[in-house]
Structure 1
Amino acid sequence: MQCRVGCGACCIAPSISSPIPDMPHGKPAGVHCVHLTDDHLCALFGLPSRPKVCEQFDASEDSCGDSREQGLILLTRLEQQTT
């Protein structure tokens, strides 16, 4: 599965414990990454400063569902189950 353009659920729902440029303490769950653009794209995509955890995320039906809304629900649920 490829990422849906304009989704950004993976940049909102999960927490990220590693430092992110301009977010030195990472990102809490449910908080928009500061690099998520208004059209829900990653401003760091393809750049060397993009965090490794973000690079390693693979979109899948299990985590992303079939819509942005479903992706937010599934990734939020996954975050809650792993904390």
Structure 2
Amino acid sequence: MNSRTSSPQPAQCRAGCGACCIAPSITSPIPGMPNGKPAGVRCVQLSDDNLCKLFGEPSRPAVCENFNFDGEICGEHRVQALATIAWLESSTA
């Protein structure tokens, strides 16, 4: 494939990261967390492998469904993602 004709592939979530299921507060109900979750609290639907147990399920909250990987937010690894999302959460609270 010629680099002039190929378009860059969109970045994907890192399997096992889970930062978006820990760092932000979620105010909508989550199965098992009817009042949502506070910032910094691990979602009960996050597996031990840091994968969403509700991924692809209709019960997955819209806020979770709409959260997409963004290199500027998620950084190059999980620690950066946790720090950036926590900083965004605290600066918009």
Please give the TM-score of this superposition, normalised by the length of structure 1: 0.97
- Residue 58 of structure 2 is aligned to residue 48 of structure 1: yes
Structure 1 segments of 4+ aligned residues over 3 angstroms from their partners = none
- Residue 13 of structure 2 is aligned to residue 3 of structure 1: yes
- Residue 32 of structure 2 is aligned to residue 22 of structure 1: yes
Residue 34 of structure 2 aligns to a residue in which SS? Answer: coil
d(CA) in 2 for partners of 1:5 and 1:74?
A: 18
Q: Per-residue deviation at 1:22? A: 0.9
User: Alignment RMSD, CA only?
Assistant: 0.5
Q: Per-residue deviation at 1:30? A: 0.1
d(CA) in 1 for partners of 2:36 and 2:29?
A: 5
Q: Per-residue deviation at 1:62? A: 1.5
d(CA) in 2 for partners of 1:35 and 1:55?
A: 13
Rg (Cα) greater in structure: 2
Give identity over the alignment, percent.
Answer: 63
The count of corresponding residues between Structure 1 and Structure 2 is 83
2:82 to 52, 72, 79: 72
Which runs of no fewer than 5 residues in structure 2 stay unpaired?
A: 1-10
Higher relative contact order (CA 8 A, sep 6+): 1
d(CA) in 2 for partners of 1:7 and 1:38?
A: 11
Please give the TM-score of this superposition, normalised by the length of structure 2: 0.87
d(CA) in 2 for partners of 1:63 and 1:21?
A: 26
d(CA) in 1 for partners of 2:73 and 2:60?
A: 21
